[in-house]
Amino acid sequence: MNIRHECPMPDLSFSVTAPLHLHKANGCKVIANRWSLAGIWLENEHGDMSGDIEMSIPFQGVEVSFPARLKATETPGHYTFQDLTVRQRETLGAFHQGVLSGRMVSTSDMIASLDTPVDLVPMGETEEEEAAGRAKAKPRLLRIIWNAVFYLAAAAFLVLFLGGQIWQRLSHVQLDHARFVAPITAYGASESGYITRVNVAIGDQVKPGDILARIEDPDRESDVEDVRAEVLLAERRLRTAQDRVAKHVAQRVAQRRSLWLRFQVLWTPWAANDPHLLVYPDQIEIARRALYDFDRGRDINALAYFDILGTLEESVGERDLDLRRWKRELRHRKAAADELVVRAKFNGTVFGVHALKGNYVARDDLIVEVEDNTPRVAVGWVDDSMATAVHIGMIADVSYVFRGQSKRIMGQVTDIQAGTDIAQPDKFGMVVTIKADDAGLRKTRKWFRRNAPARIRLKRNLFASWFGGADGSA
């Protein structure tokens, strides 16, 4: 093998004369005797070798092969390497260096070139890149002005942003989990039973005492019917007893006439024969005494007229007392059944109906919801550490969304109560209620959806808290 050394080239790529085997995919094999790290030179009779090839380097009796790509240049027969990997460049460079130095490439150098892990990227800057950078640089004065304006703008932004945040925290109290609530009264079943009638629908106006729904308990209704039957029976017994008394009273005239006739039968003959005697015979005295006692409501013998009349009247009294007792029991049973009637307690608008006719409901099951005719309010939660910073009468700024647009309204704190956070039941604090200014029943129902989220900030009176009491008094 003849090896010829040539002089260095200006582009630092020295061409060498050494065999380099090239294999095309179509089976064409070419040996390049002149090549460098940049490309190869072939004779014109070899044809076009541009494209993908398999390049082999002879090494100690074997060939080291790897794929490569050639690109034709303007010079006939000259091709440049395209997209060589780091390992391919290192392997080709090791063989190229060995040819230039006249020494055989060692096995360790060849293995090291094949094991090169990453690309070797030059960290320096060429003269062309340095000149291009200086050409793009702006004048020094302009850079100073630009930097000054930039830092001043950044400082102003930080001051305004951070200062605004700090001022907001000092001048306002932010409420957590704020929302709008409606005064809803829930009406449930007092006892279990079947819904026999629902008298309202959503949107209906109700007044106190209006019947919202009726519930029927079969057991109670059965008790009412049983007692009503007892009342009817007691009334019939009373009428029977009263009829007996009336019939007995009707016999009074006949009974007296009988006594009168008996007396006259005895008295008339005796008066005609002996009218001047002062002592009457015993029979006449007995007849006269019987008539006298009868007129005064007294009986001589037992089980006589007035004795029977007393017994009958006593029976009427007992029957009347029994009827009153059953009527009282009927009122009680009906009152117990009427307790299953659901009645409205306040003026309001029916918000929801949760039961239908024929449905079975258990005790305390929700039947109807009525929104009271009072304006809706906003509520929020604040930690109990702010107990001394929140008080009734504070001005509130309420933000909400209405028909896709952000709205704001002012209000006042009307109530503060201790309570848990709806989102964190184990966290205790204060529930604050805010009433919107100049917003009545219609406006609040139109603007504030039930349970719609809101953003509430309470305005602090810093000067009053610094120079006086919480309410601004010295």
What is d(CA 235, CA 237) in angstroms, rounded to the nearest whole number? 5
Listed in sequence order, the residues at least 6 apart from 123 whose beta carbon sits closer than 8 Å to its beta carbon are: none
What is d(CA 156, CA 163) in angstroms, rounded to the nearest whole number? 10
pLDDT tens for 190-201 read: 888 888 889 999
Whether the pLDDT of residue 213 is over 80: the answer is yes
Q: How confident is the model at residue 11 (pLDDT cuts 50, 70, 90)?
A: very low
Q: What is the pLDDT of residue 201?
A: 92
Mean pLDDT is highest, among 48-57, 318-327, 413-422, for 318-327
The mean of the pLDDT values for the chain is 78
Note the Cα 129 to chain centre separation in Å: 63
Q: What is the pLDDT of residue 301?
A: 66
User: Token pair of 357, please?
Assistant: 């006719």
Q: Which residue has the higher pLDDT, 92 or 412?
A: 412
In the numeric block, the tokens 């702010």 are attached to 386
Around 338, how many Cα atoms within 13 Å sit in the side-chain half-sphere? 8
Q: What is the pLDDT of residue 94?
A: 76
Q: What is the pLDDT of residue 298?
A: 76
Whether the pLDDT of residue 283 is over 50: the answer is yes
Mean pLDDT, residues 267-282 taken together? 68
Q: How confident is the model at residue 340 (pLDDT cuts 50, 70, 90)?
A: confident
Q: Which residue has the higher pLDDT, 335 or 395?
A: 395
In whole angstroms, how large is the CA radius of gyration of the chain? 60
What is the biggest distance separating any 2 CA atoms in the chain, rounded to whole angstroms?
205
- Please report how the helices 282-295 and 252-273 are oriented relative to each other, as an axis angle in degrees rounded to 10: 150
What is d(CA 303, CA 311) in angstroms, rounded to the nearest whole number? 9
Q: How confident is the model at residue 251 (pLDDT cuts 50, 70, 90)?
A: confident
Listed range (75-79, 277-281, 327-331, 370-374) with the worst mean pLDDT: 277-281
Whether the pLDDT of residue 378 is over 50: the answer is yes
| CA 263 to each of CA 15, 287, 297: distance values in angstroms, whole numbers, following the listed order | 180, 5, 18
Mean pLDDT is highest, among 59-68, 117-126, 282-291, for 282-291
Whether the pLDDT of residue 4 is over 60: the answer is no
What is d(CA 248, CA 297) in angstroms, rounded to the nearest whole number? 14
User: Token pair of 104, please?
Assistant: 């055989």
What is d(CA 137, CA 177) in angstroms, rounded to the nearest whole number? 54
- CA-closest candidate to residue 207, choices 20, 439, 370, 421: 370
Listed range (125-139, 210-224, 400-414) with the worst mean pLDDT: 125-139
What is d(CA 263, CA 288) in angstroms, rounded to the nearest whole number? 6
State the pairing for strand pair 51-59/16-24: antiparallel
Mean pLDDT is highest, among 263-272, 338-347, 432-441, 459-468, for 432-441
Strand order in the sheet with 341-343: 341-343, 211-216, 193-198, 360-361
Mean pLDDT, residues 210-229 taken together? 83
Strand order in the sheet with 405-420: 172-174, 455-459, 395-402, 405-420, 428-436, 377-383, 176-181
Whether the pLDDT of residue 106 is over 90: the answer is no
Mean pLDDT, residues 231-238 taken together? 91
Q: What is the pLDDT of residue 411?
A: 93
High-pLDDT (> 70) share of the chain, %: 79
Whether the pLDDT of residue 142 is over 90: the answer is no
